[in-house]
Amino acid sequence: MVNQANNQNLDPEVTEKLKAQATELMAQVNAGDYGKAMSLINDLNEVRDQSLYREVGRLTRSLHEAIRNFQIDPQNPEQQEALSKMSDASDRLEYVVQMTSKAANRTMDLVEDAMPRARLMREQSKLLRDDWQRLRRREMAPAEFRELYGRIDNFFLTSADDAESVYNSLSEILLAQDFQDLTGQVIQKVTTLVKEVEEHLLSLVVMASHVDKITGTVHEIDAPEAVSAEQGVGPQIHAAERTDVVSGQDDVDDLLSSLGF
């Protein structure tokens, strides 16, 4: 499709006509019949125009087909389905956002439940250890020992429960990571679609540039506006390979201290 659009390969019909009329033009000029020569030049012009129109027509059809392949102009159920694939992609990504946010919140719920229990266990066992050592050094009065006895009893009861509950939280946190499997699959599907769209777009661009070449159209394209970093551009991919981007907190600290921070 693209090769057909190459204006180096004119129709054989056109080249034949060109050859024939050029020879005749030479003959008329040599014979001194300028009136006929002029009308031949007109004919030549017409042949050129016609071949140009034909090329443009062909390219327009190709363009139209490419646009249809691009799935933005649904004309039958099949294309309608392809189009819905595009809007489906945003739904899918929305689903990823929901899943990841749900998993993050679930994990944090569990962590927020487990942390105070772990802290309490740490504090209680530290207190008991200190008292226990005093007891071993025989520094404890009988009344104090009776009180310690009760506390140790209580600690055994609660620490088993707390450890059990922390264990369950950890195991649920493990399960909450199952989103990665689902979101991974969804993102891979969307990536495939984006690649497809990119290919179609590329062939559209190539097609359009051929139309421009044939018709001699020159576009005045303004230089793209520099993207302002003021609004924020989000996380940087491949930060390690770029010099305008810091690759971590150490880089940030170095930069700030070079500014006198």
Partner 1 sequence: MKILIVDDFSTMRRIIKNLLRDLGFTNTDEADDGNSALPMLKSGKYDFLVTDWNMPGMSGIDLLKAVRADDNLKTLPVLMVTAEAKRDQIVAAAQAGVNGYVVKPFTAAVLKEKIEKIFERIQ
Binding site for partner 1 (CB under 8 A): 101, 104-105, 108, 111-112, 229-236, 239, 244-249, 252, 255-256, 259, 261
Q: Which residue do the tokens 């981007």 mark?
A: 245
Q: Which is nearer to partner 1, 216 or 232 (CB)?
A: 232
Q: Which is nearer to partner 1, 112 or 161 (CB)?
A: 112
CB 128 within 8 A of CB 151: yes
Minimum distance between the CB of residue 173 and partner 1, rounded to whole angstroms? 14
Sequence-distant (≥ 6) Cβ neighbours of residue 153 within 8 angstroms: none
Q: N- to C-terminal Cα distance for the chain? A: 61
What is the four-CA torsion angle of 202, 208, 213, 217, rounded to 10 degrees?
Answer: -130
Instruction: Give CA 178 to chain center in angstroms.
Output: 22
Q: Which is nearer to partner 1, 51 or 107 (CB)?
A: 107
Minimum distance between the CB of residue 89 and partner 1, rounded to whole angstroms? 21
Q: Which is nearer to partner 1, 111 or 120 (CB)?
A: 111
Minimum distance between the CB of residue 99 and partner 1, rounded to whole angstroms? 12
CB 219 within 8 A of CB 212: yes
Which of 35, 45, 46, 40 has its CA nearest to residue 20?
40
Concatenating the DSSP letter of every residue in 131-159 gives HHHHHHTT---HHHHHHHHHHHHHHHHHH
Minimum distance between the CB of residue 122 and partner 1, rounded to whole angstroms? 13
* CA separation for the pair 126, 128 (Å, rounded): 5
* CA separation for the pair 241, 252 (Å, rounded): 16
Minimum distance between the CB of residue 247 and partner 1, rounded to whole angstroms? 8
Q: Which is nearer to partner 1, 77 or 260 (CB)?
A: 260
Minimum distance between the CB of residue 163 and partner 1, rounded to whole angstroms? 21
Amino acid making up residue 194: V
* CA separation for the pair 138, 49 (Å, rounded): 114
Q: Which is nearer to partner 1, 5 or 103 (CB)?
A: 103
Q: Which is nearer to partner 1, 93 or 246 (CB)?
A: 246
CB 33 within 8 A of CB 39: no
